[in-house]
A and B are shown apart, each in its own frame.
Chain A
Amino acid sequence: MKIIEGFRLRDVMGQATVIGEGVDQVNFNKLITLNSSAAYLWEQVEGKEFDVNMLADLLVDRYGIDRETAEKDAAAVAGQWQETGLAK
């Protein structure tokens, strides 16, 4: 999957927030806040093709958690991004 073009991650008063700023998001009137690990994943995969495995690898490398937990967390984040229309 890939993050949809036009969504940008910004620091809004200390809170990582995704804002739809592209041509296709003219009517996307939502803000989506990310926790710090989701924001980290976003920065790493922005503009690239990725999958749940890649996200899990990133979590293991960065936070030193076990593979199983990382895969569960990665799947949850990817699922949320797809549900809210941030990635497809």
Chain B
Amino acid sequence: MVVTYKIRIFVIMAQYKTYKVAGHLFRVEMDVESPIWERMEEAYGPFEVSEQKEDMLFSLNISDEDTDGNAWSQEMQPVYSNKGTVEPGFIELSVYKSPEGHCFEFTQPQSDTINGRLFVTRDLKQARMALYGSPIQRWLTFNTGVNFCFLLATSCNRTVLAHASCVTYGGKAYLFLGKSGTGKSTHSRMWLNALEGVVLMNDDHPVIRISDDGTAVAYGSPWSGKTRCYKNMQAPVGGIIRISRALHNKARRLSPIQSYASLMTSFSGMTWVKELADGRDRTIQDIISSVPCWVMECLPDHDAARVCCEAVTNV
């Protein structure tokens, strides 16, 4: 009699999950024990999919320490740094390039404490990131890292990550642009309070993607700033409105060049890399050729929402 012993050894160390944002699939891989998985649940959970495809937009591999130190030491050339210009509470960024790809180092202002390092291959499809510091710092840096990977990998795929607050109304999405502190979120809130049927889609980084038929469609994302609004929803873009503080409420339609200037400043990207700049340029022109853009000179009041809504929905 033959007895067969079947021995199964489970060595589970890393796990990955797949997410779909604006129709783009990406994968995050890290230690199954990492506390980041739990923190991801709220913001990324709504975007998790079981769908598996070989061709991901990008794959990001996270390690809690720099196990692959070579990625940073090889012929690194400094490209950009905002050190010394960042206010406390924000993360400083330094960008380097190597023959293999792009390296990003995240540091705390006024100190040389490194919070994380992100390496992205030249084709923008493979990324790995090392995280340092306290659990909350690791989480914040991780979140920024995924955001960067998405921004870079979508640049040439008719997609932009907009710095905007976005609401839906009457089946269309309206995006409010403006520098931090101008009142994008406040204006969204005025729409929510003053008008019927308004839904907040995302309060910091909605995505705009040009669909195959040329329509600009807005999508929710896992990146919503201080507001916990991580809706997996989409709507064709009805208007893009730059918020400008004033002592009156008045909406003004922008010319194509003015529209381009308005969108350009709110769609960040690594434009010093020509292919990425070309990608952003194409997406902006696709958007402005079909979506009306405006500047809304306004007060932070309910009347501002009514005046704005009336102008942008009656095109």
- State the A residues within 8 Å of B (CB): 6, 8, 10, 12-13, 15, 17, 19, 21-23, 26, 29-31, 33
Contact = CB atoms under 8 A, between A and B. Distances in A.
Contacts of A33: 257
Given A8-B277, A26-B80, A29-B265, A17 B260 contact: yes
B110 interface: no
Contacts of A13: 256-257, 260, 285, 288-289
Interface in B250-288: 256-257, 260-261, 264-265, 271-272, 274, 277, 281, 285, 288
A12 B79 contact: no
A29 B80 CA distance: 17
Interface residues of B, number: 16
B264 A19 contact: yes
B281 A10 contact: yes
A19 to B, nearest CB: 7
B256 A15 contact: yes
A23 B272 contact: yes
Nearest to A13: B256
Contacts of A6: 272
A6 B271 CA distance: 9
A31 B285 contact: no
B90 to A, nearest CB: 15
Contacts, number: 37
A12 B285 contact: yes
Given A22-B272, A31-B264, 14 more contacts: A8-B274, A8-B277, A12-B256, A12-B260, A13-B257, A13-B260, A13-B289, A21-B272, A21-B277, A23-B272, A30-B261, A31-B260, A31-B261, A33-B257
Contacts of A22: 271-272
Interface of B: 79-80, 256-257, 260-261, 264-265, 271-272, 274, 277, 281, 285, 288-289
A39 to B, nearest CB: 14
Secondary structure at the B interface, as helix, strand, loop or mixed, is helix
Nearest to B289: A13
B286 to A, nearest CB: 11
Closest 8 CB pairs of A and B: A21-B271, A13-B256, A21-B277, A23-B80, A31-B261, A23-B272, A22-B272, A12-B260
A29 B178 CA distance: 13
A21 B271 CA distance: 5
Contacts of B80: 23, 26
30 contacts: A6-B272, A8-B277, A12-B256, A12-B257, A12-B260, A12-B285, A13-B256, A13-B260, A13-B285, A13-B288, A15-B256, A15-B257, A17-B257, A17-B260, A19-B264, A19-B281, A21-B271, A21-B272, A22-B271, A22-B272, A23-B79, A23-B80, A23-B272, A29-B261, A29-B265, A30-B261, A31-B257, A31-B261, A31-B264, A33-B257
B14 to A, nearest CB: 35
A13 B260 CA distance: 9
Nearest to A17: B257
B271 to A, nearest CB: 4
Nearest to A31: B261
Contacts of A15: 256-257
A13 B277 CA distance: 16
Contacts of B257: 12-13, 15, 17, 31, 33
A23 B94 CA distance: 12
B265 to A, nearest CB: 6
